[in-house]
Structure 1
Amino acid sequence: MSEDFGSAARRLRAPLLAALAPVTACAVALGGLTTWVGTGGAGRPPRIEVGTGRVFLPYGDTRDTSAYFRITNKGGSADRLTGITSDSPAADRTMLGRHRTTEGRAAYMSGAASVEVPAHGALAMSPLGTNVMLRARGRWQAGDTVPFTLHFRDGGSIRADAVVVRPR
């Protein structure tokens, strides 16, 4: 009878050893993922902050101008700025814009559907990059404020003001 038990044990040893490697790998991976989640590395949503912006005072006969904000994401996931609106009677036709250059080095503005705000990073709008294109209504003066609402894919909507400044 001991021969039957010994041969049965030998027959089971090979499959058990073969299963040991994947089971150990899964346990190590699960331990690593548990540590990652426990320290906040996984699933940390974007944490968007918008500072006071600035909007250029229109000059000449044109009412078209642009506004600029600094958007900071202190969260662990990237987010996207998907649009900007203003409920102010002083602003009309707000939209995201982007400065572009042709192969012949001619500059122009174009609309942008959305703009990424990187995790642990910032989006600094500028005249030579991303901005808010809009049309001013009425007469603005330096120091006036124009309210905007910035809409984010994951971070919801955030209200921010832009101060009217003279372009430099």
Structure 2
Amino acid sequence: MTAQRLWRPSGRRLTDTLLAALAPVAACGLALGGLSTWTAYGNAGSPPRIEVTAGKVFLPLGDTPDTAAFFRITNSGGSADRLLKVTSAEAGEGTPTLSRHVMTSSNSASGQTVASVAVPAGDGLAMAPDGLDVIVPAKAGWQSGDLVSFTLYFEHSGAVKTLAVVVRPGQNDV
């Protein structure tokens, strides 16, 4: 009877097998590291859920070229978002801009244009005349009670359409 020879893998075959197994293991490790970093920086959780309510726009007085609009923005999602810009096809000529009311050292008020505004996860913001607002080019003919459509653009949530009612200044409890 002859002895049967056992099969032994060659060194080259072992090297090829190890290299083939290393590629998916390295890819999984890289993906796990990326997800861990994403979570550590607070980006994990549910996406932002933005709701825009209580829109108001001040009735322009006299020949004033601009007026202000205010909204309540809530984010019931698990991730923060950013308000990037506001538009309105029903406003006067020009582009609405985000603005923040600032008191100067001489106790006078000043408006500063802001590029974007954070909307924290599980929280929100309420625009007001003494804080954040939207400077809107006034349109002739607006009357108290009119509805003006606006679109608010968010970094993650995209465009959110809403209406704002025209009110006399002083009715700003947004």
Q: TM-score range with shorter-chain normalisation?
A: 0.7 to 0.9
* Counterpart check, 1:127 vs 2:158: no
User: Is this contact kept in 2: 1:52–1:160, CA < 8 A?
Assistant: no
- Measured after TM superposition, the shift of residue 99 of structure 1 is 0.3
- Measured after TM superposition, the shift of residue 122 of structure 1 is 1.1
User: Is this contact kept in 1: 2:144–2:168, CA < 8 A?
Assistant: yes
- The AA in structure 1 aligned to 2:117 is V
Match runs of 1:1-80 below 5 Å: 42-80=44-82
* Counterpart check, 1:118 vs 2:120: yes
Q: Look up the match of 1:144.
A: 146
- Measured after TM superposition, the shift of residue 105 of structure 1 is 2.1
- Measured after TM superposition, the shift of residue 67 of structure 1 is 0.3
Give the whole-Å Cα distance in 1 for the aligned partners of 2:107 and 2:91: 36
Does the residue aligned with 2:82 lie in a helix, a strand or coil?
strand
Give the fraction of aligned pairs with identical amino acids, expressed as a percent. 53
| TM-score calculated relative to the size of structure 1 | 0.72
- Measured after TM superposition, the shift of residue 89 of structure 1 is 5.3
Give the whole-Å Cα distance in 2 for the aligned partners of 1:158 and 1:100: 27
- The AA in structure 1 aligned to 2:151 is T
User: Is this contact kept in 2: 1:49–1:72, CA < 8 A?
Assistant: yes
| TM-score calculated relative to the size of structure 2 | 0.70
- Measured after TM superposition, the shift of residue 60 of structure 1 is 1.8
- The AA in structure 2 aligned to 1:64 is D
Give the whole-Å Cα distance in 2 for the aligned partners of 1:111 and 1:135: 14
- Measured after TM superposition, the shift of residue 139 of structure 1 is 1.4
Give the whole-Å Cα distance in 2 for the aligned partners of 1:93 and 1:43: 34
- Measured after TM superposition, the shift of residue 65 of structure 1 is 0.5
Give the whole-Å Cα distance in 2 for the aligned partners of 1:161 and 1:77: 25
RMSD: 2.1
- The AA in structure 1 aligned to 2:72 is R
Does the residue aligned with 1:97 lie in a helix, a strand or coil?
strand
- Measured after TM superposition, the shift of residue 63 of structure 1 is 2.8
Q: Deviations over 1:119-158 (max 9, x none)?
A: 1001100001110101112211001011100000011110
User: Is this contact kept in 1: 2:91–2:136, CA < 8 A?
Assistant: no
- Measured after TM superposition, the shift of residue 87 of structure 1 is 1.5
Give the whole-Å Cα distance in 1 for the aligned partners of 2:134 and 2:85: 9
Q: Look up the match of 2:111.
A: 109
User: Given the superposition, is the C-alpha separation of residues 91 and 71 from structure 1 closer, same or farther in structure 2, using an over 3 Å criterion?
Assistant: farther
User: Is this contact kept in 2: 1:91–1:134, CA < 8 A?
Assistant: no
Name structure 2 gaps, 5 residues minimum. 1-31
- The number of residue pairs the alignment matches comes to 131
User: Is this contact kept in 1: 2:91–2:137, CA < 8 A?
Assistant: no
